[in-house]
Structure 1
Amino acid sequence: MKITAVRARRVTGTFEYDGEFREERQARPIDLYEQNFAVSMGGPPAMPKISDGKYRMEGIFLEIDTDEGVTGRAGTIGAETVHMVAQFERLLVGSDPFATELLWDAMYRSVPNARKGPGMLAISAIDNALWDLKGRALNQPVWRLLGGAARMEVPMYASTLGYSLEPELVRQRVKDHIALGYRGQKWFFRYGPQHGRDGMAKNLELVETVRDTAGPDVEIMFDAWKSWDVRYTVDMAERMVDYDVKWIEEPVQPDRISSYAAIRRASPIAIAGGEGEFTRWGAQELIAQEAVDYLQPDVFIAGGISELTKIAAIASVSEGVKLMPHARANVSMHIVAAQSPDVCPSVEDLVKSSVTNEFFLLAPPVRRLGKICLSEQPGLGMDLDPAKIESDEDVPLR
């Protein structure tokens, strides 16, 4: 079997949702500047609203074709990733798609500046598509190719990015997620050091509201999304400790590993991070500097499935560090399920992002009682639902 083509495909459809889909955003590092804090939405572009209750959904998928008619698919990905894929096309076409280690290393070596940033996002997407291709060719799910399932249902925690932080709505959403069976919830702070004591009080009000509503048996976590500093994080941690918080996530910008380590030494609450880190070498640096308790690489950022399995091996021999992959539950569940629960305890369900990332899938993973369920779908289960696709076009790599 040989690779014959590498393609990107954009599909659109209509997503029905009663109300505003993204009600609030998290804190952002650029909120240091007042004019940026005032912007209501940040991060990925909001879905265009067609009419009340209807949004235009768009997804870009990477597809790798072979001379035996088997196609691997990964996505959704960003337009900037598509253009970086073009740099690796010549290495892929004519190659054996089963040689994922060879192809990963060749891509990594061919463009030295691709070791981080958009280049590694492209390598990640390609690697994930190759694993989907292998599973389809062998008529096996990827979790089985990775060694088989340590468990067929993997616990999830709900991440509430995009939900309103109004206290009454927070209470209702906490109850809603408990009713769905999630035994853990992660909420996102809106305020940082530049907002002084008033901002700190509002952050603490969120913690109090979530714990008071969730009760003592639900794990709660909070994400500062790279927007705090050492002193502020430690100060907040000391105020939050009485609320039995499992971790504070991404308190500082990812390049400030020494700041992570300083926080971890001083904080009475565990520290999580690494969602924006790249490759096993980035993960190893976080571990070597004793910067995190929970390591959170993203399978579409850190290097794909091939790389996350290596990061899992590193975490398995690192005292006290747990691997908790960031987002993309429909892909990361394959990795987590094939690892010991002692290494990878659970999967993050970034609830609203899961809706958008999985919207076009014919059979998205089943969630049941706070767990994500493995299936026998070949590959990563990336068949698309033609009933949801209203337009379908190729996206030029160049």
Structure 2
Amino acid sequence: MFDLYQLSEDHEELRRAVRDVVDNRITPYAAEVDAEARYPREAHEALVATDFFAPHIGEEYGGVGADALAVAIVIEEIARGCVSSSLIPAVNKLGSMPVQIGGSEEIKAKYFPRVASGECGFSYGLSEREAGSDTAGMRTRAVRDGDDWVLNGVKTWITNAGESEFYTVMAVTDPDGPRGRNITAFVVEKSDEGFTFGEKERKLGIKGSPTRELFFENCRIPGDRAVGEVGDGLKIALKTLDHTRVTIAAQAVGVAQGALDYAIGYIKERKQFGKHIADFQAIQFMVADMGMKLEAARQLTYVAAAKSERDDADLGFFGAAAKAYASDVAMEITTDAVQLLGGAGYVQDHPVERMMRDAKITQIYEGTNQVQRLVMGRKLLA
């Protein structure tokens, strides 16, 4: 059941390159981005300049064609310094993955080069306020009108909404059709008439990544913007999540690593009772557990990434497992990092409180961890 993965020298060289970019051009702005709840423009520009903006886009569309493991490493390393910034490549993959899975060559050629170049971002419109985990219960509608489609409805919790130029949107195209097989995927462009955005949500964490609602009021789009066959939208959406849950796991591993690194540096310098905090056995046990769980999460994430690259039949289980385990571990490690710093961990002078707030979302988005456990249980019992 468990297939090995192989980290090549190219992967390690990639890690070093991303880490250099993060340390010099992303982390220095992370606290400011969080405090001002502003889009991380510095990170955006740095990622475009270094081809880390959408590394998954294939070479045939002007991208670098990074494999799924390489993309996971990119997201992990960015999240180590700034989780909000790591959502730039993560959401570009999430938004464009349905097109990659089900789109025609024409629609790929139309959109992928502009994403690969960094000109445009790509977001994902699946969730609604009354259809979060129950995706098949969505109410957004798309109705044929001649050769066009007309969309009406609201999508909620859309990451990088307003910043991205393109959106893969799921809408019901046959209200009387079988549940889950009556939904179609469409590409909507930011400039489309009848397409607008809500106000930015005020959030616990990832404050640098804007989250807004998408409003469709008689939004007319050409018929060639449908992704895949009519009625296959939910199938494409769920297959997308099998792949992109790996990126959330990578994000969780990254923020956990950042918190552990910072906490270790702090306890090796801070003294109490005449010796460094790191010299106390109880603290060493705590750090050992943090490191052990983090490495287990990383290994599971990398295995899932390798399965994503091969599109293995058991990806659904491993993607869910990696996302659930890594995000639970990230929440635990970032909370423990705050504890290791004591009172200092609770104030914004140190980054671990931000990391703890940012880590929480990894347990929720792209399917709550309760849903991940449902997915895993059903896969194992099938």
Q: TM-score scaled to structure 1, two decimals? A: 0.25
Bigger relative contact order (CA 8 A; separation at least 6): 1
Structure 1 or 2: larger strand share? 1
TM-score normalised to the size of structure 2? 0.26
Counting helix residues as a fraction of each chain, which structure ranks higher?
2
